[in-house]
């Protein structure tokens, strides 16, 4: 992997997909990219979970980590694990030269797992990522589903991971021109990385991936679209804080209130919930209530 790969495939706004069959080494390849990118000055924001160095012995005993302890490195401070959208956005605006890396992207960006609004917000986040001084890497088993989700109109690179053995894999690098498909500008293989080793970063292969949409991305993107980049960096903390602190006088969040209403009356309708929230002076959307119902196992 050359320095030029980062400047070309991972410059701000660029999209990179990592695809492979299960257990072929997608996340390990992502770790390999992190290791190569940190000496070049990149910050990585990811939902991947890593073990503390003091936990490595136990993780090896449990069979989660497969190498000897001396193989693993401490996770550098330039790697930031975030599992909430608010935390992710705050981080991206606090640093420069960023790469956002989301594992198991389809788990939180699929119509089977989320509402249509979740998908719109995810699309908006991907298309706006360059304005946060970041590129984005999405890890998934199926490129076709991600491509459908993103409408195949965004130019992107794809790393196709092929496992040879436990300690060896190779990676095909493909370029997809997106909607810029003119004659002679079709998807094509542009490079191959041979003998890619397992990452030295102690990532937890058993930890569930996730990304919680705890803020209204649609409203957030609309708000920052009215500001220049210098002003956005100044107001981001207050914008996020306002979103998260939309609570009643007794300190309950909207989610707490909705869960409480459902627990008190399992037959309550979405419309009745919205009426109760309006009485408290709280705004909400039908999709937000539906998502909470899904989370607690109640389906309307």
Which has the higher per-residue pLDDT, 127 or 175?
A: 175
> How far is the C-alpha of 47 from the C-alpha of 91, rounded, in Å?
13
Instruction: Note whether 211 and 47 are within 8 A (CB).
Output: yes
Question: What is the signed CA dihedral for 296, 241, 220, 94, rounded to 10 degrees?
Answer: -120
Interval 11-40 mean pLDDT: 92
Q: Tens of pLDDT along 30-67?
A: 999 999 999 999 999 999 999 999 999 999 999 999 99
Which has the higher per-residue pLDDT, 248 or 262?
A: 262
**Continuous H helices in the chain:** 3-9, 26-37, 56-61, 85-94, 116-128, 143-149, 217-224, 229-244, 254-264, 270-279, 286-295
Instruction: Note whether 125 and 216 are within 8 A (CB).
Output: no
Q: Which residues pair with 136 in a beta bridge?
A: 15, 100
Whole-structure pTM value: 0.78
What pLDDT does 244 receive?
75
Q: What angle do CA 167, 172, 177 make, to 5 degrees?
A: 150
């Amino acid at each position: 992997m050359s320095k030029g790969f980062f400047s070309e495939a991972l410059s701000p706004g660029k999209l990179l997909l990592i695809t492979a069959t299960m257990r072929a080494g997608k996340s390990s390849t992502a770790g390999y990219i992190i290791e190569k990118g940190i000496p070049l000055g990149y910050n990585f924001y990811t939902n991947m979970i890593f073990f503390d160095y003091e936990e490595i012995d136990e993780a090896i005993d449990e069979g989660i980590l497969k190498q000897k302890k001396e193989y693993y490195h401490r996770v550098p401070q330039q790697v930031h694990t975030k599992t909430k959208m608010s935390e992710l956005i705050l981080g991206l605006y606090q640093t420069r030269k960023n790469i956002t890396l989301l594992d198991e992207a389809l788990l939180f960006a699929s119509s089977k797992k989320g509402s249509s609004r979740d998908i719109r917000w995810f699309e908006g986040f991907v298309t706006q990522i360059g304005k946060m001084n970041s590129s984005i890497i999405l890890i998934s088993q199926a490129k076709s589903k991600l491509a459908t989700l993103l409408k195949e109109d965004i130019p992107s690179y794809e790393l196709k991971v092929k496992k040879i053995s436990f300690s060896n894999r190779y990676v095909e690098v493909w370029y997809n021109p997106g909607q810029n498909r003119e004659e002679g500008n079709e998807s094509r293989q542009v490079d191959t990385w041979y003998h890619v080793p397992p990452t030295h970063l102690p990532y937890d292969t058993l930890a569930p991936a996730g990304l919680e949409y705890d803020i209204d991305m649609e409203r957030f993107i609309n708000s920052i679209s009215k500001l220049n980049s210098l002003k956005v960096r100044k107001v981001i903390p207050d914008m996020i804080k306002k979103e998260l602190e939309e609570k009643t006088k007794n300190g309950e969040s909207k989610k707490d209130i909705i869960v409480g209403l459902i627990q008190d009356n399992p037959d309550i309708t979405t419309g009745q919930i919205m009426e109760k929230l309006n009485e408290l002076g709280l705004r909400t959307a039908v999709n937000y209530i539906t998502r909470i119902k899904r989370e607690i196992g109640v389906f309307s």
